[in-house]
Structure formats: C-alpha cells, structure tokens
Amino acid sequence: MIKFVLMVNRRGQTRLSRYYTPVELSRRAALEADVVRCCLSRRKEQCSFVEYKDFKLVYRQYAALFIVVGITDKENELSIFELIQNFVEVLDKYFSRVVSSCAIMFSLDRVHFILDEIVQNGLVVETNRSRILTPLNAIDKMSDS
Amino acid sequence: MSMSPSVPLQEMIRAIRSARTQCEERGVIQRECAAIRAQFRQADNGGRSHNLAKLLYVHMLGYPAHFGQMECVRMIASSRYSEKRVGYLGAMMLLDEKQDASLLITNSIKNDLSHSNQYVQSLALCTLACMGSAEMCRDLAPEIDRLLRASNSYIKKKAALCAVHIVRKVHELGELFAPAARSLLSEKNHGVLHGAVVLITELCERSSESLERFRKTVPDLVQIMKGLVISGYSPEHDVAGISDPFLQVRLLRLLRILGRNNETASDAMNDLLAQVATNTDSTKTVGNAVLYETVLTVLDIKSESGLRVLAVNILGRFLLNNDRNIRYIAMTSLQKIVGTDHNAVQRHRGTIVDCLKDQDASVKRRALDLSLALVSASNIRSMMKELLLFLSSCPPELRSQAANGIFTAAERYAPSKRWHIDTILHVLITAGGDVRDETVPNLIQLITNTSELHCYTVHKLYRALLSDISQQSLVQVACWCIGEYGDLLLRGDCQEVEPMQVCEDDVLDALETVLQSHMSSTATRGFALTATMKLSTRITDNVDRIRSIVSIYGSCIDLELQQRAVEYNALFKKYDHMRYAKKDSTHFCCCGVILFCSVNSFAFNVILGFMLLLTITFVSAPTAPTVTVYEKDGVTLTIVCEKQSDSAMTVTLTGFNSSDCDVSSFTLQAAVPKSVQLHMKAPSGDSLPAGGAAKVTQVVLLNNPNKVRLQNRQMLFIYLVCRGSTVQETVQVDSFPGL
C-alpha cells in the first residue's frame, strides 16, 4: 500500500503532502526532510527506487518538481512508477498546461481533490483519466453556475 | 478593535514566499493564523472555505493548525458542498481518530453516506476510509455493505476501498463483506472491478476461510484477465497499448495469493500466466510492470517447471534492459529466488556478472550478492576472475563484503591449495584494509598446513612485500612467513616462481623497511620484529645485524615493541653465556616452539604473545624427568625429554591451566635450526579450561642426524590468549637435570 505522497521542489520545500498511515505531526517535518534529501542526492545513473528504512520510495522528477511516493514492500514498484506518471497527466489535463510547482501551490485544495480520486486510504481507486476528473469538472460547473 | 482583513489564499502564499528569513515567515504566518482564528469565531460568512484552505497550507508547512479542528467539524455539517468538501479535507489532514473532535463528525458522516448527491457520499466514504475508528466502522459497516450492492459505479468503487479500511480495523467484519465482494466481480466497470479485487485480496490475506472460499473465483478471475490481455484497443483504459495495466497487476497479485500452496488453483491459472508472459509488450514500462507481477506470481505459486523457466528468462531479459529501474527489480527478484531456483538463475550468470559493472550502486550490490550465491565448484575459476576484477574497482562501501565473500567462496571451492593461497594473496594486495581480522591467523594456518607450498608461498610473499608495504594484513603475513621459512627463501630455488637470488641482507632490509615505515601499525611492527628475531636461528652471517636491529627497539616509544625488543635482547645475552659455558656437552636443542593462536571468538580477536625462551639441552639420562619450563598466572608448560637414539629425541609438551581464566585456541608450532629435523604430531586439543580441568599435550620428534654441535640460538616462543589482553613475556629456563 501507499504510505504517503509528497511533492517537493528542488530546494526541498514541500508543495503537497498526504499521509495514508498515521505519522505524528512532529515527526512529519523530519521525515519529509530526510526523504527529500535521499531523493535529491541521487545521481542520474541511479534508479528511481530507494530502499528507505523498512519501506521503499519511488520518485520521479518533472522539471523542478519531485514526486515521491512511499510504498510498503509488497507493492509493485514499476506500477507505482506508472501511477505517478498517470497522476501528472491528470494534473496536466485539468490545469490545461504543464503543471509546475507554483501551480500546485496556488491550487493546493484542487490538487488534493484530484489525488483523492486516484488514491484512497493508501490504495489506488481509479486510474482512468476522464473518470478521475469527472467529479471535479462537475463540481466546478456547479459552483460556476 | 479592528481586525486586519484576512487575505485570499494566493496573497498569503505570496507573502510567505517573499519572506526572506525564517523569522519573517513565522511572523507572516502568525498574523494570518490570528486573522483566520478571528474569522472562525465569527458567525457564518462566505469566506470560511478559503480560510480553512489557508490553514491547510499553513499546516503543510509544519505550523500548528489544531485550532482549525472545530472549524472542520462545523464545515462538514454545513449544507453547502464547497464547505463540506474543504471541511472533510481538513478533517483528513488535521484529525485522526485519537482526537475528540473526530467523534463529532461521526454523525455527519453517517448522514452524508446516504446523501442524495453522490459527491457528498463520496466525501463521507473517503473520510471514513481515512480516519474511521473501530467504533465508527462497526457502526457504519452495514451502510457500506448496502452501498456495495446498490449504488452507482462511482460509489461502489469507493465503498469497496472503504470496506478494506473497515476490515483492517475490525477483522470480523470481513465476513460481512465477502458476499458483496464476490458479486462485484461480475461488474464491467474497471474502477469497481479494481476495488473488488483489492477488497477480496484484503479478505484473503486476513482469514484462511475467506481464502478457501475465494479460491473458487479463480476461473472468473482468469476470465477477466484473459479479457484484458486479448481485448482490442479500448481508449478508456489504454495505457501505451496495454489494457488497464493497473487492474492487470492487481488481478495477478490476487491470483498469486490464491494459487500459493494450492495445486488446483495453480493449475487453473497456468495457461493464463503463460499467455500473459508471452504476449505482453515489453517495450514500455507498463508492459514490464505487468510482466514483473506475472513473474512474481509464477514463482510464488505451484507452477510447472516450464513456466518457471519462462519466468526466470523474463528476469534475465530484464537484466539486459536499458532502463535501470527494470534492471534493479530484476536483480531484486533474482536474489529472492537464487536459493529455490538455483539452476534457472545459473543460466543467467553471465548477465548477472556483467551487472557488476553497472553504474548504479544498488544494482552493483545486488549483482555482487547474486554472483557470490552463484559460485559453485564448476565455475569457481572463471567467477573468481570476475570477482577479483570487480574488487579492484568496486565502490568502497562494497569492498569489505566483496573481500569476505571471495574468501568464503575460495575456502569452499578452491580447486587447489596453490590457487587458494594465490587468491587470498590477490585479495590482500587489492583490498587488504577491508578484510576481517581473522584473515591473518587463518591465512597463517592455511600456509602452515600446506607444507608443499612453503617455498612458493614465502617467495611470493617476499616479492609482494618488496613492492608494497601499505596493506597491513599482507605485510603481517609476509613477515610471519619470512620469519618462519626464511631459510627456504634464502635457498633461492623454487620451481613455481622465477628464480631470484635473495641474500640475508636483502631479507633483513625488507624487514627493517617494514619496521621503520610510518605506514606500519604497531601490530605489524611486532610481526616484523618477531620475524627478525626468528631469522637469527636460520641465518648464519648476519646475527649481529639482527642484534643491532633488536637493540634499537629496546628504546622504542611504543611499549609493546620496547618490551619485545628488551626480551629478545636478553635472549641474545643469555645465549652467549650458555654457549661459552657448555662447550663440551652434547647439546640437543629443541626450540622455537611457537604457539600461535588465532581466536575466532567474539570478544577476543587478539593474538597474545607470551614468549618463552626455552633452551633444552639434552643429555642421555636414564629417567626422563618432567621439567617446568614456563609458569605464570596459572598457566604452566612442562616438557619431558626422552632420548630415543643417538640422534633422535622425543619431547612431550604439556600445557596446564590452573588460573580462573579460560585459555582458548592453544596451538603449538615448532621451528628448529636447519640441521635438525622436526616432526610435530597432532596436539590433543586446543583449549585449556580454567581450574585445570583439562590438559593439552603435544609430542614433538626431533632428529639431529649430523650430530652437529648446535649453536645456542634456539628459542621457544609461546603465544596464547587469555581475557582478551595482549601480554608478552620472555621466560628463560636454564637449569636442567642431567646437564
């Protein structure tokens, strides 16, 4: 299962954080800093999977944005790798432009809602891009009218 | 008092970002939080969701936001969707079941689960799945079950995952959801199918009855999977030409759980797995994700051997993939099965060995683990070539593991003793600093036992010493060897190495270089000094040089070396005395018994040196008295000399320990002058337990056929280990019966 989803910029500042296992608030900052340090220090020849403590990290870089997903041992790493790509494509589609770290910051709640349509309590709930965005588009239309 | 108006979210973010210092940022955030708090206290206003959104942003940055918890509760109860939405999100981020406020939202969740708007229902489901307590779960489980059966696809898929959470919290409720889960398998909507498969997986992992029951669904699952694999292009679920790879992966995982340890179920899925393995396009990552899951399933269930070979071959292909992620997972998987499917993995040994040169350090590490696991008697020579090559250029964090792995492999599969010794020497030359401490005594033991190669070994080590004295373990073994077999070195002839004239000065030069080098550790210098001393029994022309070397170290700063040197010096002096006094007796010397202990126990990894000077002079005597030659701290060594003939003598050495400290790894070695032949029989044991519970005896046969008048430079060196501390002493025995 997925333990957490993080989006950080190159300087290590958190742009989005969502935890699916209980992590105390006081420990979150340290965990995020450590995880981010791990991923940012990887070189290009190294693979996208990092063994971290007793679980794994899957990370992908999109320009200045790093997306890091913490997973338990049983999860298929390649599948999660693809899931991250799926997530980014959904965001691109919703925001009608290539998503940057700034865009996420200014529409943080929307990004959370999108994420909720993809992952629920640490498990994947929907991967079809149109189906993920249907609720958001419906709500947006409702609030516009 | 007028309140500063709170700013829109974007403004606040800009203000925070423009703060130049941490302190400034804190100031901005404190101001904002105060404003937000004030807003919360006010009656209903339109900006509540914005305020909460701001608070969530602040919370993400790591600042306390618990004062927003009650606001979440209030907003969840609101009738406006936008407020509910932010309220539920806030609840998921700020609340957990331990907080009191979470109890207050139970009622809202309950109501919202049957709301007319499916998006409101979905919010409630999501939040329940995120933070529902066991109480809430028990309370609401029937409602979730209802939603699993009678609602639209959107709600069904969310309800399925919510049920997973409920089952994790309250295991017994698994029974409740099993029938609904079963019927969901006939749905067409992929989201619902996905949810159903995840729920069934959870149920099967929790209870073996569920597992039994759901095994009956294997044919249905196989059917669904087949549909995905052979279906044509479907724009809805297509990812790079593969139909819903995420669903395929989950199906394969469920099949794995159902087929494990069960022949029937495994048989039922055999064909499907073969089909997926052969037909899935492996040019894109998604395809490889499906293949990976397939391989894991094949290897975990009771599959037929052909299928297993197919799976391992897929892993072998993965190793050749350009994508380093794929290489990494191939390595990980191969590592897991190298024990069970050893022969299948052996077929890919070449590729695995090539991965030793991979750029990625974690791939290298796994390649090393796998390579060491794949070493066998038939491939030891070629594998060792690769491993030694790897050792010379591997990253520093892997050197120790590589060196020790090589030693273990060499010990187990060495095709010849000479190869074994060569390999160990090669490792010491390349990575001598990264080997375990026991390597030095172990190697010495190995060399001692390989008497046919003494000449070869001492020549090789001498040459290694000449070229590099920085690797301490190598230098230590070389010094020991030279001290032990220096005569073979000086003799010059050895078939297996190129002939090289070595004179006594050369050897002493080498040892002196070690002694004087700043690279040599204290232990190494100790070895060199002892070796120099031992050579005094084997060489004839340069004894004075040895004496002068030894006397220099009598004033060495290092205490151990100084002590050793002083004792050696004393030996020299005492020899002279004896030499002059005993001119006319028939001297028969048995000396140079070296007790070399290599301790492999946990606490003691130290070689103690007790040096015992023993000069035994043997004269024909009718009875053979027992002479105590050494006694200290409760440890005693006695000898009994029995003359067998004119030139032969038997010496029985007996060790005894009456102290309260156990002595272990008690080993004796003897070195005698050139003219004397020595044969040491096996000792009775190697430990001297405390309190004299047992003895160690060893018989030594000596033969002095030439009846050469022996120069009195023979010595007994005893090493033993006790209590983990290094002690070195020289004891001289100078009174003998019959003398």
Q: Which tokens sit at A129?
A: 């891009």
DSSP B67: G
Please tell me the least confidently modeled range out of A83-87, B179-183, B533-537, B668-672: B668-672
Q: What is the pLDDT of residue B620?
A: 31
Among the partner residues B13, B236, B289, nearest to A106 by beta-carbon distance = B13
**Residues of chain A with C-beta less than 8 angstroms from the C-beta of B130:** 20, 120-121
**Residues of chain A with C-beta less than 8 angstroms from the C-beta of B144:** none
**Are B236 and A28 in contact (CB < 8 Å)?**
no
Q: Does A54 touch chain B (CB under 8 A)?
A: no
The backbone region for B320, taken as left when phi is positive above 0, alpha when psi lies in -120 to 50, beta otherwise, is alpha
Per residue in B716-732, pLDDT (tens digit) is 566 676 666 555 555 44
Q: What is the pLDDT of residue B258?
A: 96
Percent of chain B residues topping a pLDDT of 90: 35
Q: What is the pLDDT of residue B146?
A: 95
**Are B236 and A130 in contact (CB < 8 Å)?**
yes
**Are B165 and A78 in contact (CB < 8 Å)?**
no
Q: What is the pLDDT of residue B144?
A: 95
AA identity, residue B81: Y
pLDDT at B132 over 70: yes
Instruction: Please tell me the distance from the alpha carbon of residue A10 to that of residue A63, in angstroms, as a whole number.
Output: 9
Instruction: Please tell me the distance from the alpha carbon of residue A124 to that of residue A115, in angstroms, as a whole number.
Output: 10
AA identity, residue B445: Q
Q: Does A47 touch chain B (CB under 8 A)?
A: yes
Taking alpha carbons only, the member of B565, B536, B537, B539 closest to residue B551 is B565
Please tell me the least confidently modeled range out of B148-157, B497-506, B512-521: B497-506
Q: What is the pLDDT of residue B712?
A: 44
- Is the distance from CB of B285 to CB of B325 less than 8 angstroms? yes
Spatial neighbors of B639 by CB under 8 A, at least 6 apart, are B614, B616, B626, B627, B629, B651, B652, B653, B654
**Are B288 and A139 in contact (CB < 8 Å)?**
no
Q: What is the pLDDT of residue B614?
A: 32
Select, from the ranges A6-10, B182-186, B469-473, B700-704, the one with the highest average predicted confidence (pLDDT).
B182-186
Q: Does A1 touch chain B (CB under 8 A)?
A: no
A 101-130 → B contacts, CB under 8 A: 105-106, 108-109, 112-113, 116, 120-121, 123-128, 130
State the nearest Cα–Cα gap between B308 and chain A, in angstroms: 19
Q: What is the pLDDT of residue B603?
A: 21
Strands A65-71 and A2-9: antiparallel
Per residue in B49-102, pLDDT (tens digit) is 788 888 888 888 888 888 888 889 989 998 888 889 999 999 998 887 788 888
ipTM score assigned to the predicted complex: 0.94
Q: Can you list the alpha helix ranges (DSSP code H) found in B347-471?
A: 349-354, 361-374, 380-393, 396-413, 417-431, 439-449, 454-467
pLDDT at B192 over 90: yes
Chain mean pLDDT for chain B: 81
Q: What is the pLDDT of residue B568?
A: 79
Assigned CATH for A2-144: 3.30.450.60
State the nearest Cα–Cα gap between A119 and chain B, in angstroms: 10
Domain spans of chain A?
2-144
**Residues of chain A with C-beta less than 8 angstroms from the C-beta of B325:** 47-49, 77-78, 81
Q: What is the pLDDT of residue B656?
A: 83
Select, from the ranges A134-143, B95-104, B358-367, B473-482, the one with the highest average predicted confidence (pLDDT).
B473-482
In angstroms, the first-to-last Cα distance of chain A is: 39
pLDDT range class, residue B292, cuts 50, 70, 90: very high
**Residues of chain B with C-beta less than 8 angstroms from the C-beta of A112:** 89
Instruction: Please tell me the distance from the alpha carbon of residue B401 to that of residue B407, in angstroms, as a whole number.
Output: 10
Taking alpha carbons only, the member of B733, B466, B696, B505 closest to residue B597 is B696
- CA gyration radius, chain A: 15
Q: How far is CA B691 from the centre of its chain?
A: 39
The backbone region for B732, taken as left when phi is positive above 0, alpha when psi lies in -120 to 50, beta otherwise, is beta
pLDDT range class, residue B662, cuts 50, 70, 90: confident
Q: How many CB pairs under 8 A join A and B?
A: 130
pLDDT at B593 over 60: no
Mutate to test the interface with B, among A109, A117, A142 (most CBs of B within 10 A): A109
- Is the distance from CB of B317 to CB of B282 less than 8 angstroms? yes
**Residues of chain A with C-beta less than 8 angstroms from the C-beta of B126:** 116, 120
User: Taking residues B369-378, what's their average pLDDT?
Assistant: 92
Q: What is the pLDDT of residue B727?
A: 52
Q: What is the pLDDT of residue B249?
A: 96
Q: What is the pLDDT of residue B183?
A: 95
Three-state secondary structure of B647-699:
CEEEEEEEEEECCCCCEECCCCEECCCCCCEEEECCCCCCCECHHHCCCEEEE
AA identity, residue A32: E
Among the partner residues B96, B285, B362, nearest to A81 by beta-carbon distance = B285
Three-state secondary structure of B363-392:
HHHHHHHHHHHHCCCCCHHHHHHHHHHHHH
Q: What is the pLDDT of residue B439?
A: 83
Per residue in B197-229, pLDDT (tens digit) is 999 999 999 999 999 999 999 999 999 999 998
Q: Does A72 touch chain B (CB under 8 A)?
A: no
Please name the residue of chain B whose CA is at the shortest distance from the CA of residue A14. B61
Q: What is the pLDDT of residue B733?
A: 38
pLDDT at B736 over 50: no
pLDDT range class, residue B277, cuts 50, 70, 90: very high
pLDDT at B577 over 70: no
pLDDT range class, residue B389, cuts 50, 70, 90: very high
pLDDT at B263 over 50: yes
**Are A112 and B89 in contact (CB < 8 Å)?**
yes
The phi and psi torsions of B116 (rounded to 5 degrees) equal: -75, -25
Strands B721-722 and B696-703: unpaired
Instruction: Please tell me the distance from the alpha carbon of residue B53 to that of residue B10, in angstroms, as a whole number.
Output: 11
- Is the distance from CB of B341 to CB of B298 less than 8 angstroms? no
pLDDT at B619 over 60: no
**Are A108 and B57 in contact (CB < 8 Å)?**
yes
